[in-house]
Amino acid sequence: MRSQVIIIGGGPSGLLLSQLLNRAGIATVVLERQSRDHVLGRIRAGVLEHGTAQLLRQAGVGARMDAEGHPHDGCYLAHDQQMVRVDFTESCGRQVMVYGQTEVTRDLYDAQDAMGATHIHGVRDVVLHDLLTDAPFVTYEKDGRQHRIDGDFIAGCDGFHGVSRASIPAESRREYEKIYPFGWLGVLSRTPPLMEELVYANHPRGFALASMRNDTLSRYYIQVPLSHRVEDWSDDAFWTELRARLPDSVAGRLVTGPSIEKSIAPLRSFVSEPMRWGRLFLCGDAAHIVPPTGAKGLNLAASDVGYLFEGLVAHYGGDGEALEHYSDRALRRVWKAMRFSWSVTTMMHRFPDHGPYEQRMQQAELDLLASSAAARQAFAENYTGLAF
| 192-to-16, 156, 208, 307, 373 alpha-carbon distances in Å | 30, 38, 17, 37, 31
Q: If residue 377 lies in a helix (H) or strand (E), which one and from where to where?
A: helix 373-384
C-alpha span between 157 and 155 (Å, rounded): 6
Q: Residue 75: beta bridge partners?
A: 86
Close Cβ partners of 365 (under 8 Å, ≥ 6 residues apart)? 347
Task: Output the DSSP codes for 81-109.
Answer: TEEEEEEHHHHHS--EEE--HHHHHHHHH
Alpha helix (H) ranges present in 234-372?
235-245, 248-251, 297-316, 326-348, 356-371
Write phi, then psi, for 178 (nearest 5 degrees). Answer: -135, 125
Q: Could you tell me if 6 and 31 are in contact, meaning their C-beta atoms sit under 8 angstroms apart?
A: yes
Catalytic (active-site) positions: 72, 200, 292, 296, 383
Class of residue 141 by CB neighbours under 10 A (exposed 0-12, middle 13-18, buried 19+): middle
Q: What is the DSSP string of 36-51?
A: HHHHHT-----EE-HH
Q: Are 200 and 209 in contact (CB under 8 A)?
A: yes
Q: Rounded to 10 degrees, what is the CA torsion of 10, 122, 24, 16?
A: -10
CA-CA-CA-CA torsion sign (314, 315, 320, 322) = positive
- Is the omega angle on the peptide bond into residue 274 within 30 degrees of 0, that is, cis? yes
Residue 292: closest CA among 218, 342, 236, 355: 342
Q: What is the DSSP string of 103-153?
A: HHHHHHHHHHHHHT-EEEES-EEEEEE-TTSSS-EEEEEETTEEEEEEEEE
Q: Does residue 296 contact residue 280 with C-beta atoms inside 8 Å?
A: no
